[in-house]
Amino acid sequence: MRPPASAGNLALSPDAVFGGDAIAAFSERDFTTVRQLIADYAGIKLSAQKRNMVYNRLLRRLRAHGLHDFGQYLQLVTNDVRGEREAFVNALTTNLTAFFREPHHFDLLAALAQDRAAKRGAPLRCWSSACSTGEEPWSIAMVLREAGCPGDVLGTDIDTDVLDTAQAAVYRMERTSGLPPERLRRHFLRGTGANEGLVSVRPELRAMVRFGQLNLQSPVWPAQERFDVIFCRNVVIYFDREFQKKLLQRLADLLVPGGLLMVGHSESFPAAHPGFRSCGRTAYERLGG
């Protein structure tokens, strides 16, 4: 029997059954602890409206450990038992992505790549700072290859599970269904036999992209070269305003003058920084000499 709607101190789900004999209760205290932990570990600010999402995602982790109690599970996270802290972050990280998502950014990238190729300049250095399962950095690499522009693409994410997928570079065909047939033929190999229904990124593209784990909120980032283009899309919405300002300055420091910063479709945080000017929809050019 479900509790009445007014029972706001517990979250129960009819699907939250362990072996058919128990239902896990998710108290307000548990949710508060989750919000604090994910803010501490990843800088993600979860709203109160995310409670059901948190419940459903963490329920899988409880099942993996054979637990019936969220409090016990959160102790595993806090003590980082068997690497559960990383699994906790992975479970709560949103990883919505697609090939050539927000295509206007890739039009700008193509123009820059064509100009660099015509001048026979240095390789174009691009960073996908929240690369999820890899569709974004592979899309960047496709644009560079099609322009005949040498490139070096870095993809980073806090979530190690999605990084494994990105680096494997193997996708179900439906993930590439929006690509034109010519682009699909040029950049992917079609699976056969046991791999029917899968596509794999071609070696020529793989040679352009490298991956690594990075928490954008970490106080110290590994030493990095400066970039010509940075994609930082649909991630700062999870950070508070103070950290958004800090992150923007760090990104500005890593962009060469004339470099491009691409942000998400609902984000405009670079507009207030004197080192950037708008150069298209949710795209900003780094100013300075």
Q: What is the CATH number of the domain that holds 84?
A: 1.10.155.10
Minimal CA–CA distance to 224: which of 139, 159, 123, 127?
127
Could you give the maximum distance between any two Cα atoms of the chain, in Å? 70
Q: Does 194 map to a domain?
A: no
Domain-terminating residue out of 27, 57, 92 = 92
Q: Are residues 73 and 121 in the same domain?
A: no
* CATH (domain of 224): 3.40.50.150
Q: Are residues 276 and 153 in the same domain?
A: yes
Q: Are residues 72 and 152 in the same domain?
A: no
pLDDT given for residue 14 in this prediction: 33
Minimal CA–CA distance to 123: which of 147, 149, 88, 87?
149
Minimal CA–CA distance to 238: which of 53, 34, 43, 59?
43
Q: Which two tokens stand for residue 226?
A: 């400066």
Q: Are residues 222 and 140 in the same domain?
A: yes
Q: Does 78 map to a domain?
A: yes
The Cα 172–Cα 25 span in angstroms is 36
Q: Does 189 map to a domain?
A: no
The Cα 157–Cα 275 span in angstroms is 25
Q: At what angle do helices 84-92 and 160-168 cross, to 10 degrees?
A: 70
Q: Does 163 map to a domain?
A: yes
Quick: pLDDT tens for 231-274. 999 888 778 888 889 999 999 999 999 999 999 877 888 888 99
Domain-terminating residue out of 64, 92, 120 = 92
In which band, very low, low, confident or very high, does the pLDDT at 278 lie, cut at 50, 70 and 90? very high
Q: Does 182 map to a domain?
A: no
Minimal CA–CA distance to 260: which of 122, 148, 179, 140?
140
With a cut of 60, say whether residue 201 has pLDDT above it.
Answer: yes
pLDDT given for residue 144 in this prediction: 98
Q: Are residues 264 and 129 in the same domain?
A: yes
With a cut of 60, say whether residue 93 has pLDDT above it.
Answer: yes
Q: Are residues 115 and 85 in the same domain?
A: no
Rounded to two decimals, what is the model's pTM? 0.77
pLDDT given for residue 176 in this prediction: 93
Q: Are residues 220 and 77 in the same domain?
A: no
Q: Are residues 148 and 239 in the same domain?
A: yes
Identify the three-state secondary structure at position 215: coil
Domain-terminating residue out of 41, 68, 92 = 92
Q: Does 225 map to a domain?
A: yes
The Cα 95–Cα 235 span in angstroms is 10
- Give the count of domains, the chain: 2
Q: Does 196 map to a domain?
A: no
Q: Are residues 107 and 88 in the same domain?
A: no
Beta strand pairing status for 255-263 and 227-232? parallel
Q: Are residues 26 and 126 in the same domain?
A: no
- Which amino acids are annotated catalytic? 57, 157
The Cα 118–Cα 8 span in angstroms is 63
Q: Does 54 map to a domain?
A: yes
> Strand ranges (DSSP E) for the chain?
10-11, 26-27, 124-128, 151-157, 170-172, 188-190, 198-201, 209-213, 227-232, 255-263, 276-280, 283-286
- Domain enclosing residue 207, as ranges: 103-169+201-286
Q: Are residues 222 and 277 in the same domain?
A: yes
Q: Are residues 71 and 205 in the same domain?
A: no
